[in-house]
């Protein structure tokens, strides 16, 4: 039991190709849009169908560069109906619209109005807002939620108010989510600049009081005393499907998968980088030798860390949006298994009824 993965959420990096060059992205893994990828999508979908994740995050690279994406998502939706969330960079909203019959949420990455977005993402923010507003009626008619994801950095932190006001003026149904840039102790992170962070929270609270549909995902990170070595619980509930088809729970967990090792070796040969390799090997060994889960992590990512707060019994402003994908998708048997796991390894005071109520009330509407 200690080493099992519940597989509730899969994040699928569906392509390594991208048409932007954002400042904080990992460019060692991105290719140009015209790069020829050999990916056996039907085989990957068959593999995903074995796990039937409740939430499927489609990311990349840029997902809309995958020509057959609507067809693949139709297949997935018809096979096990997960909550499908596609993350899009705002360059191809006419393609994103073709996904609407098969998705539940479209997340559009946007870091500020006009030129502010250009600093982080090389794209005029006002143009993205305008195009987003134009697809809202279509999204509404398909029941698809549209959420702006803004990565907060030292460059855009003081522009969140104009982003919220401009975006919701153009499209009143839009919701906005604010994320800290990773790594949290890096040069462009506001978490190492106390005044900037304090100003950001003051502005956020003011806008929330005014009734704007906004969330932030900073408390999930700030619960850690240090970012160098954390305890991450959601790694036993999430899986990561790489473009190559290699499956792991996350960057900290080395899968027993030959495709994974070949790719790591290739990366090492081309970049000379093999981050945190000792921590990862130590972890693999501890999992092999012990029945206890090893929650340690030295490559903090904040991906599904909202789950950790729920396991610890801590409510966050972000839960109303994040829990929605699990709503109605967890059986009584699964709840009982989670209760046993969390009480034994994470939080003896875990309250299943409260956890259930947090998931059931999850709705961003």
Ligand X SMILES: C[S@@+](CC[C@H](N)C(=O)[O-])C[C@H]1O[C@@H](n2cnc3c(N)ncnc32)[C@H](O)[C@@H]1O
- Least distance in Å: CB of 141 to ligand SF4? 27
Residue from 106, 144, 174, 182 that binds ligand X (CB under 6 A)? 182
Bridge partners (DSSP) listed for residue 10: 56, 239
Residue 342 binds which of ligand SF4, ligand X, none (CB < 5-8 A, kind-dependent)? none
Residue 248, phi then psi, degrees to nearest 5? -140, 170
Minimum CB–partner distance for residue 108 and ligand X (Å): 7
With CA atoms as reference, report the closest residue to 91 among 39, 131, 42. 131
- Binning the chain into helix, strand and coil, the percentages to the nearest 5 are 45, 15, 40
Whichever of 180 and 293 has its CB closer to ligand X, that residue is: 180
Instruction: Write out the E strands in the chain.
Output: 9-13, 55-59, 83-88, 105-109, 145-152, 175-180, 214-216, 230-231, 238-241, 247-248, 296-297
| Chosen residue from 251, 254, 284, 312 binding ligand SF4 by CB under 6 A | 251
Among 17, 54, 85, 88, contact with ligand X (rule: CB under 6 A): 88
Q: In angstroms, what CA-CA distances link 81 with 72, 77, 104, 136?
A: 12, 4, 10, 23
Round to whole Å and give the CA distance between 25 and 23: 6
Nearer to ligand X, 156 or 342 (CB): 156
Q: Is 299 in the site for ligand SF4 (CB under 6 A)?
A: yes
Query: How many residues touch ligand X (CB under 6 A)?
Result: 15
Q: What is the distance between the alpha carbons of residues 258 and 237, in angstroms, rounded to a whole number? A: 22
Binding mask 59-78 for ligand X (x = CB under 6 A): xx-x----------------
Residues that bind ligand SF4 (CB under 6 A): 18, 20-22, 25, 30, 60-62, 89, 121, 232, 234-235, 250-252, 297, 299-301, 303
Residues that bind ligand X (CB under 6 A): 18, 24-25, 59-60, 62, 87-89, 109, 149, 151, 179, 181-182
């Amino acid at each position: 039991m200690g080493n099992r993965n519940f597989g509730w959420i899969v994040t699928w990096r569906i392509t390594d190709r991208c048409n932007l060059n954002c400042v904080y992205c990992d460019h060692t893994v991105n290719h140009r849009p015209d790069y020829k990828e050999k990916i056996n999508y039907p085989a990957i979908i068959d593999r995903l169908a074995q796990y039937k994740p409740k939430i499927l995050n489609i990311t990349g690279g840029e997902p809309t560069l995958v020509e057959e994406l609507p067809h693949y998502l139709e297949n997935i939706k018809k096979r096990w109906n997960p909550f499908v969330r596609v993350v899009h960079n705002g360059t191809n909203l006419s393609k994103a619209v073709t996904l609407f019959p098969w998705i539940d949420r479209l997340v559009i990455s946007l870091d500020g109005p006009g030129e502010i977005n250009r600093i982080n993402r090389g794209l005029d923010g006002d143009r993205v807002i305008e195009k987003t507003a134009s697809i809202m009626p279509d999204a509404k008619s398909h029941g698809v939620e549209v959420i702006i994801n803004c990565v907060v950095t030292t460059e855009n932190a003081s522009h969140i108010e104009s982003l919220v006001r401009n975006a919701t003026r153009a499209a009143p149904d839009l919701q906005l989510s604010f994320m800290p840039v990773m790594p949290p102790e890096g040069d462009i992170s506001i978490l190492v600049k106390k005044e900037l962070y304090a100003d950001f929270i003051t502005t956020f609270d003011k806008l929330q009081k005014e009734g704007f549909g906004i969330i932030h995902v900073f408390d999930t990170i700030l619960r850690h005393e240090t970012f160098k070595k954390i305890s991450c619980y959601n790694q036993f509930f999430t899986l990561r499907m790489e473009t190559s088809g290699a499956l792991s729970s996350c960057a900290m967990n080395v899968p027993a998968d030959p495709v994974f090792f070949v790719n790591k070796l290739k990366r090492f040969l081309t970049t000379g980088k093999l981050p945190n390799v000792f921590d990862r090997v130590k972890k693999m060994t501890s999992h092999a030798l012990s029945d206890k889960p090893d929650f340690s992590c030295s490559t903090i990512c904040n991906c599904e860390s909202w789950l950790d707060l729920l396991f610890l019994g801590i409510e966050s402003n972000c839960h109303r949006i994040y829990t929605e994908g699990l709503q109605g998708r967890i059986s009584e048997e699964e709840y009982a298994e989670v209760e046993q796991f969390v009480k034994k390894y994470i939080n003896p005071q875990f309250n299943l009824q409260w956890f259930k109520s947090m998931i059931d009330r999850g709705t961003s509407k």
